[in-house]
Structure formats: structure tokens, C-alpha cells
Structure 1
Amino acid sequence: MDDQPCGQKTDIWDERHLRIATEATGVALWSWNVDTDRITMDSRAFELWGLPQRSKVTFEDLSACIHPADIDKVRTEFSATIDLRGAYEIDFRILHGDEERWVSARGRGEDQGIVRRIMYGVFLDVTFRKSLEDQRELVTREMHHRIKNLFSLSSALASIAARNTETKEEMLEDLAQRFQGLSAAHNLIFARSYDQKKAISLNELLNALLQAYSLDPTAAKNISISAPEILVGEHSITPLAMIIHELATNSTKYGALANDLGRIVLTGEDEADVVRLVWNEAGGPASDPMALKSGFGSKMTERVIQQFNGSIHRDWTEDGVNITLSLNKALLVG
């Protein structure tokens, strides 16, 4: 390509070169006759929508592919583009067989860009961008949830320390030990998660995670743990820790760890292909199952446990709850 001074006219942007540019960037072209509702698309647009290529398409033809949750929004916004001045952009989901895709339709409204009552625009596949946006939103919500839990946890541990001591000096020492226990558990998880040569026994991990919540960390008199002697792989340490911390945090706020009478018994069974952990709470105040089920923490737990192809089941009692975690053994130890 010859160098041209800035602003000098050339014939480089002919139809063939424009087509090369659109194909290189994944741009799909469309035109819409605002009077007849006829939509003309290029081959890339038909491929994006998962439709057989043909000469005539209407909005109703395309609407059959639009996600039911987005169809009313798209119909309203697409019709409004006739009266809209300037550029517009509409993002929506389409169903391509069993696959869900995000499409961005872009063009210009009112009389701008209309030639013989025909508007022109492009379709872009923005599925990857939307996926990143969803991940960022999820991470933001998860971080917000963890920060809230840290404040709740600090308050709960202070209450446990206060119930377990008689002087402010004893309380300060007890609370310091609990935070040191949490810190040690965090360091253990972080170090093992990023060292691909190391795993950790399930018993060791559970004891490290729950030590700070015990009324008496040396005797663990309100928390009993009995798990099978298996190793948790480095990739599984953090997600399992997230689940256990969520259960413990909920217990300090709503369950057995909210008072001196509460008890937690955590047992595990190695059942060939499945490791089953049973979290049994008793002696706590009556909980509101619906409040716990609808919270972000419960939703996060449901999402994280899918990393183990697992499941979580809750049975509510008058003074506690029995929670059963079923985890794929190969994914837990691998």
C-alpha cells in the first residue's frame, strides 16, 4: 500500500476492500426498508442469526430468534429508531439452537443515513464482551458480599470472645487468637492454592477454617469435625474454603454459633465417587429458611459447588439445620 498524505482522496475503499474489512472485524451488514419492513442481510448476518440465507427477511422473521425476555424491548426500540435522531445501539440476546448469543445492532435513526427510505446498519456478536461484563459484575457483587461478611464475622467473633472471657484483657487475647486463626487459615489456603505440587488433607483444611469460630479453640467444644482421610487438590482448596466460610458466617449470624448453646457437628463420608459432607447445627435460634435461601451468599454457594459437579441440600429443624454437601471426588482431589 502506497503512503498517502493525510486527507488525500484515494480509490482504496472500493466494495471489495470494504468487504475485506468487515469480514476481518466480524461485522455483519443489514438494511431495513422502513416502509415495507423488508430487511436485507449479508451472509455473515445470516450466519450470526443461524438462519438460512434468503433474499427477503422481516423483523418478525428475526423476532423468532430473539430471546423471549428481550423481544418486547427490541421491538419497541427498533421501531423507535425511525424517529430517533442520530446513532443508536441496541444490545439483545438471540437463541442460536441451544446456544445463547448477544448481538449489538447499530445504525442511525430519523433521516440520517436513509437512502430511498432504507436504513443501513451492522450487527456485531458481542457475546464475549457481555460474558466479561457479567463476570465483572459477579466479582463485584461477590467482593461486596465478602466485605459485608467480614464486618459481620468480626462482630460475631467479638461476641464469642466476650461470652468466653471475664475481663477485657482476656477478651482482647481471645479475639486476637481468633483473628490469628483466620489469618493462618487464609495463609494455608493461599499457599496451597498457588503451589501446584501441594494438596492438603480434608481434615486439616476443615479444622483450620473453623478453628476461629470455636468457643474454645484449643478444645473445640462447640465444633466437632470428622472427615475422611483424603487430600484436597490445590485447585479445589479455595472454592471449598469459600463454601465452608459461608456456612460458618451464616451460623454466626443466624444459627448455632450465635449463642453459647449452639453446636456444629461436621462429618464426612468417602463414598467411592462422591465425598459427602454433613453440616449439622443444633442449639441455635430458629432461622428463616427463605431469607437464607434468597441471599447472595446462598446463590454464590450454589454456583461454587458446581465446580465440583456437586449439590447442596438443606433440612431445617426447630433449632438448626442439616446441610449436606455432595462433591465429585475426582474433582475434589484432582
Structure 2
Amino acid sequence: MADDPALTGDEWTLASFTGAIHRGGVGLWAWSPERRLAQLDSLCRAFWGTTEPLVGIDTLFTKVNAEDRHGMMLDWTASATEPQPYSFDFRIGEGAEARWISARGVGGDAGRVGDWVQAIFLDITDRKRAEEAEHLLTAELAHRVSNMFTVARALTAIVAREAKSTPHFAEDLSRRFGVLHEATTLATRSHKLDQGNVRLRDLAERILAPYQHDANITVDVEDAAVTSSDRINDYAMIFHELATNSAKYGALSAGGRLTLTGRIDGDAVKLTWEEGAAPSGAAKAEGTGFGSRLLKQTIERSLRGSFQRIIDDGGLHFAMVVPVK
């Protein structure tokens, strides 16, 4: 005859059963609507930050997160009389350390034992934090996509106004989109590895890489000069515009000298782009075209900074100051 598989003795006790449900994050509690008292087991006491097994309901309410308190009080009161299963979620405490709890049970007489309504509290903190992180990521992605479309529309309109031919339009627009793609790739990788910070030196070197073999380029930007990934497109546009102008009119057009320096000065980032004199026969940049408007909009409006540009027979001196975000 097979042994009886039923749990007996120490295997089937209140202590062993309570231990099992506690390990699953479930606490047992009961409350009396008439007395306005709650009885809490050891895990529930840990949830609420109390050592008392018998606590006033109003005392517990004061521990509920301020944003959740009113709705939670209404749900809690309804659970005493409405004869149906219920589940409502709320936070205990404030800020990042708040604990998420789900109160579950059956309301009305079905959930009563004498004067007490019995139910459970379930710790759902990990799940709620995962949901919050997912929602934040989704919102951030939507924001980035929206920004990229805004930049794409602006670039298309600007390039179209200045293009002298269809091939020129296609080439210029393709080149600018390519830079944005490079910048986005760099930002994505940095966001994964370094909390979203991108070193401006890395970005500048990436954009100037195609000219390294044809010009004397020095990039001297200190490591502390960084930008958050949501601003990297702005800096990419600035570096690209300066490099494009230099390739047309300045040092990058015929093996000249270019020096980019960057320093942190108090609560601001200071960047200086200096070029030697333009090679003989090169056209001179006037600084009044759409590239200038793009720089002004990006630096002053988007980054809330300022810049100064001087073009003379000695070359180009460009300096910008942007508040550290």
C-alpha cells in the first residue's frame, strides 16, 4: 500500500504555511471597520514600518503615499461592504524608496470572520518599478523620434531653399542625415555604457574623421566636457556645420590647420574652433547664409548658449559658451 502523501505534523503547520506565503511576498492582515483597527502579521508590519501587531487604520493611512492616499482610502472603505473580489494598488512611503503594495481579498460578509475583514497584502514593488522603467523608456523613445522628425523637416526645408540643383540637394541632405545617424549611434552606445553622457571630444573626432588625412586637425577637449544624449544632435549639427564650412572655404579645403578646444569653466562648457587662413583661391565665407541661421538657432535657442564668430584674413575664430545641463 502506498504511503499517504498528505502533509502531516511539522510539515503542515501554521508556521510553515505562513513562512511559505511570506517568501512569496504575501502578508496576512485583518481589519475592523467598526473599531477602525488593523491586525498585521510580521510581514505586513515590515511593509508598514511598524512593530505593533494592532494598529489604528488612520495611523496606517498617514503612511500611504500622498498621491495614492485618497483613492486607496475609498477602495479600502468599499472593501468592507461590497460583496465582490477586490484588488487595489498603492504605495507606502514617498520618493524612490516607496514600496508598492496590492491589497486583495473579497469584500462584504464573504471576507469577514466575526468583526474582522480578512485579506492579504502583496508586495509588487519589483513589478511596478519594471513597469515604470518601461513607461519611461517608451516616453523617451517617443520624444527622441519626435525630435528626429523635427530636425529632419528643418534640415530638408533649409537645404531645399539653398540647393542649386537636385544632385546638390540630395548630396547635402544625405550627408547631413549621415551625421545625425553617426551621432545617434554614438549617443545610443554611450547611453548604454555611461548613463547617457557623451564626450564632446569623441563626437567631434567622429565628425572630423573624414578630413584627418587632408588637414592638420587638433581636438583638445577635456574629458569633463560632456553632453547628455538628448542634446547630442545639437552638438553634432554645430560641429558638422563648422566642418562643412571649413571644407568649402577654410582649413579643411586644402590641408590647413584646425584646432578645437573645449573646457569646463564653472557651470558652462566653452568650445573654441580656430582655423588658419583660407588657402589661396578659396572662396570667403560671409557668415550670413542658412548655415549661420542654423548655428544661431541651435546654440541660442536649443542649447541656450551664446557664440561669437570672427572671419578675417587670419582665418576663422569661433567661440561658443553653453550652460552645463
When normalised by structure 2's length, the TM-score is 0.63
In 2, distance between residues paired with 1:200 and 1:95? 35
2-structure distance, mates of 1:155, 1:29: 58
For residues 109-148 of structure 1, what are the structure 2 equivalents within 5 Å?
109-148=107-146
SS of equivalent residue, structure 1 residue 61: helix
AA aligned to 2:121 is: F
User: Structure 1 181/105 Cα, relative in aligned 2: closer, same or farther at 3 Å?
Assistant: same
Inter-partner Cα distance in structure 2 for 1:104 and 1:44: 14
Summarize the alignment of residues 83-98 of structure 1 with structure 2, pairs less than 5 Å apart. Answer: 83-95=81-93
Asked whether the equivalents of residues 102 and 127 of structure 1 are also in contact (C-alpha less than 8 Å), the reply is yes
Residue by residue over 1:119-148, the C-alpha shift from the partner in whole angstroms, topping out at 9 and shown as x without a partner, is 111122222222111110000111111221
Residue 329 of structure 1 is matched in structure 2 by: none
The answer for unaligned runs of 5 or more in structure 1 is: 212-216, 219-225, 250-265, 293-297, 299-312, 327-334
Kept in 2, the 8 Å contact 1:50–1:96? The answer is no
Counterpart residue type for residue 115 of structure 2: R
SS in 1 for 2:112: coil
Q: Percent of aligned pairs with the same residue?
A: 28
Confirm or deny: 8 A CA contact 1:269 1:275 kept in the other structure: no
Q: Which of the numbers 221, 230, 236 marks the counterpart of 1:242?
A: 230
Contact 2:203–2:236 under 8 Å retained in 1 = no
Q: Residue 112 of structure 1 aligns to a residue in which SS?
A: helix
Which residue is equivalent to 1:260?
none
Q: CA deviation at 1:40?
A: 0.5
Counterparts in 2 of 1:248 and 1:172: CA distance versus 1, 3 Å: same
Match of 2:16 in 1: 17
What secondary structure sits across from 2:71 in the alignment?
A: helix
1:325 and 2:324 aligned: yes
Report the Cα offset of residue 20 of structure 1: 1.9
Q: CA deviation at 1:98?
A: 9.1
Counterparts in 2 of 1:18 and 1:276: CA distance versus 1, 3 Å: same
Aligned to 2:278: none
Give distance in 2, aligned partners of 1:231 and 1:161.
34
In the alignment, the residues of structure 1 paired with residue 150 and residue 3 of structure 2 have an alpha-carbon distance, to the nearest angstrom, of 65
What residue is the counterpart of 1:46 in the other structure? 45
What's the counterpart of residue 75 of structure 2? 77
1:172 is matched with 170
* SS of equivalent to 1:23: helix
2:38–2:56 Cα contact (<8 Å) kept: yes
**2:62 matched to 1:68?**
no
Quote the RMSD (CA, aligned, Å): 4.4
Within the candidate set 265, 269, 274, 2:263 is matched to: 269
2:100·2:125 contact (CA, 8 Å) conserved in 1?
yes
Query: What residue ranges of structure 2 are gaps of 5+ in the alignment?
Result: 212-217, 238-259, 273-291, 307-319
Specify whether residues 97 and 169 from structure 1 end up closer, same or farther in structure 2 by C-alpha distance, changes over 3 A only: closer
How many residue pairs get matched? 258
Larger Rg: 2
Looking at structure 1, the residues matched to 198 and 150 of structure 2 have their Cα atoms a distance apart, in angstroms, of: 28
Aligned in 2, Cα 1:10/1:188: closer, same or farther, shift over 3 Å? same
Distance 1:322 1:83, change over 3 A: farther
Shift of the 190–30 alpha-carbon distance from structure 1 to 2, 3 Å rule, reads: closer
In 1, Cα distance between the equivalents of 2:221 and 2:233? 21
Aligned to 2:250: none
